[in-house]
Structure 1
């Protein structure tokens, strides 16, 4: 019994496109972080809080550690934000960090990526490359099954 019309070829196409979408999403995240590092405003900040968040029942890892960072913009606004994967060992509360942010919306577009915290750069890069390679392989397999290559 075939679940998908076209069988394996359709599966390769759909799964390749899904992985490709996640690779593009990771690449866009990486681009945003790199743009903030290069062209954003920089400020001294600190790790304001380290909290454990319950992801709910059924999750493989039901708890995840979330880091909240705080900084003051040039115009004096106090901003708090969370960042993805700040580093392999995390930060202690009160640790000073360098924050790169977009002055037009610092609460939404800020990162601690940079010296001492390359996690927000490394993780999206790894996901983009690995998922991109798998997606390309699946799509090449699809093209091969269709006789296009």
Structure 2
């Protein structure tokens, strides 16, 4: 008894599209970060806080370390933000770091990616590549099952 109409082929299609959506999301994040690094304003900021966040009882890694960064724009606006995977060893509180931000929206568009902190570039690149390859494999499997390949 098949749970889905079409059985395995439908599963391959749906799971391939699901992983593909996450691959696209990671690729878009990578594009935003790279655009900020290349074309954004650059200021010196600091790591203002390092805290442990409880992600819930059902998570494999229940506790995660979150880094908060702070900087001041030239017009005097103080901004704090968190960024993804700042690096393999993290940062000490108070450590100086180069921050790239979008002057049109510094509160929502800022990153520490760049010299000394390539984690915000590497993580979305790895996710986009790995998930994209899995998605492609599943979709090719779907096409082969349907006789399209």
Q: TM-score, normalised by structure 1?
A: 0.99
Corresponding residue of 2:26: 26
Corresponding residue of 1:49: 49
Corresponding residue of 1:7: 7
Corresponding residue of 1:132: 132
Instruction: Report SS of the residue matched to 2:35.
Output: helix
Corresponding residue of 1:108: 108
Report the alpha carbon displacement of residue 59 of structure 1 after superposing the two structures with TM.
Answer: 1.4
Corresponding residue of 1:99: 99
Instruction: Report SS of the residue matched to 1:66.
Output: strand
Corresponding residue of 1:73: 73
Corresponding residue of 1:119: 119
Give 5+ residue unaligned stretches, structure 2.
none
Q: Please say which of residues 55-64 and 110-119 is displaced more in the overlay.
A: 55-64
Q: TM-score, normalised by structure 2?
A: 0.99
Alpha-carbon distance between aligned partners in 1 of 2:70 and 2:94, rounded to the nearest angstrom: 10
Give 5+ residue unaligned stretches, structure 1.
none
| Number of positions where the alignment pairs a residue of Structure 1 with one of Structure 2 | 149
Alpha-carbon distance between aligned partners in 1 of 2:88 and 2:34, rounded to the nearest angstrom: 19
Instruction: Report SS of the residue matched to 1:76.
Output: coil
Aligned-residue RMSD, C-alpha = 0.5
